Structure 1
Amino acid sequence: MSEHYYTQKPQTANDRKSIAVELRGFKLQLTSDAGVFSRDGVDYGSRTLIDRMTFAEDADVLDLGCGYGPIGLAAARLAPRGHVTMLDINERAVALALENAKRNGIGNVSAMQSDIYGSVEGRRFDAILSNPPIRAGKVVVHRILTEAKEHLNPGGSLWIVIQNKQGAPSARAKLEDTFGEDQVEEIGKDKGYRVYRAKMV
């Protein structure tokens, strides 16, 4: 079986790549590598989420499944007086996220290896951001959605991006079941991707 980007300790040989991107008007120089999600460039789903996510400048933000960091680092630029915690099960991705933060002079971030919310047990955030690992399966994706409620401050929001053909309708149904139908909103859609926001009352 081939190795996936949600492997804890990738064995794939390193093949580092430098990527210049502009996200929400911020220019970033990112390094990616083999064995991590979307190695060749920031994927369309992540860009769709980055373009639509909103939170206060002093927000405490969690980027779950951070990969090499594009969502979390963009969030850190949008919340200069806040803090972004980046989590990924993939240790290579976590190391890259920290390296990319340092490379771009972004100090209001931390990153750690974590199986879903394991490393932030008992902590709550103003916003949780995720481009969930669809290939990890529906059980994992739905845990990300349902367990978010235990990690959000009152008034906080979970922001996710998911493709229609990869389970957006069932994800929305799970969010509505977890947060309440009137607390879930489709914020935007682009090329089959849906961005949903679920709000904690």
Structure 2
Amino acid sequence: MPAGQEHYFSARPAAEPTAGGTVTVELDDVRLRLRTDGGVFSHSRLDPGTRVLLEHAPLPKVRGDLLDLGCGYGPIALTYATRRKRYPVWAVDVNERALELVRANAETAGLGNVTACLPDEVPADVRFGTIYSNPPIRVGKRALHELLLRWLPRLRPDGVAYLVVQKHLGSDSLAAWLTGEGFPTSRLTSQRGYRLLEVHPRTD
């Protein structure tokens, strides 16, 4: 995997940590200043796909645990933790440097409802009311499908997932595949070359 993409599935990124930097998440209802570092996804700016999700994905429709799948340094997890301070928010990533940043950013923001952890550290009995994710498309279809098939079944029956995917990186084919796997999927919006997909639980 190219060095610029190895952060997706690397527990300890090859990129050396730096003095760090900051990215500001500025939305109509939320303003966060987040620490970043080398070796984490989009460390120098708020990823445009992430911005589309934060601006256009609905607030949780049901009360319950939230999941940010592939959290990076935490812009999605911390935004929704701010919007819903009484909801437990799970920020999950394989990148330990990213998880350390999420923990530091949550502490700075005074958000005690965020748990940043490795995938295997999420208790098996936790079910999610809402999943938000800017998934790692570039890892390839097989790895991406395995990732989604691991977590989407953990939606509550009344839950929903929101995935943001770049149009030219296969958003439409991913939506068709998800529907074929039994997860009814529709396009919620298309903004700046990104599709925001709404995914519902299997009904069987």
Q: What TM-score does the superposition give when structure 2 sets the normalisation length? A: 0.89
Helix, strand or coil: the match of 1:179?
Answer: coil
Map of 1:143-182 to 2, 5 A cutoff?
Answer: 143-180=146-183
How big is the shift at 1:148? 3.1
Counterpart pick for 1:50 among 37, 41, 54: 54
Helix, strand or coil: the match of 2:98?
Answer: helix
Write out per-residue CA displacement over residues 166-200 of structure 1, whole angstroms, 9 at most, x where no aligned residue.
Answer: 111221012111235xx322111112100001112
Contact 1:85 1:109 in 2 (8 A): yes
Map of 1:1-201 to 2, 5 A cutoff?
Answer: 2=3, 4-6=6-8, 7-15=10-18, 16-53=20-57, 54-56=59-61, 58-114=63-119, 118-120=120-122, 121-180=124-183, 183-200=184-201, 201=203
How big is the shift at 1:57? 7.6
How big is the shift at 1:96? 0.4
Q: What TM-score does the superposition give when structure 1 sets the normalisation length? A: 0.90
Letter in 2 for 1:198: V
> Which sections of structure 1, spanning at least 5 residues, go unmatched?
none
How big is the shift at 1:147? 2.9
Contact 2:63 2:129 in 1 (8 A): no
Q: Percent identity?
A: 36
How big is the shift at 1:61? 0.2
How big is the shift at 1:63? 0.5
Letter in 2 for 1:28: L
Say which is worse superposed, 140-149 or 20-29, in terms of deviation.
Answer: 140-149
Q: Distance in 2 between matches of 1:162 and 1:142?
A: 14
> Which sections of structure 2, spanning at least 5 residues, go unmatched?
none
Helix, strand or coil: the match of 1:67?
Answer: coil
Helix, strand or coil: the match of 1:85?
Answer: strand
Q: Distance in 2 between matches of 1:2 and 1:28?
A: 28
How big is the shift at 1:58? 3.9
Q: Distance in 2 between matches of 1:162 and 1:151?
A: 21
Question: Are the structure 2 counterparts of residues 20 and 57 from structure 1 closer, same or farther at C-alpha, using a change threshold of 3 Å?
Answer: farther
Q: Distance in 1 between matches of 2:117 and 2:160?
A: 21
Contact 1:23 1:74 in 2 (8 A): no
CA RMSD of aligned residues (A): 1.7
Contact 1:24 1:50 in 2 (8 A): no
Say which is worse superposed, 14-23 or 151-160, in terms of deviation.
Answer: 14-23
Letter in 2 for 1:187: L
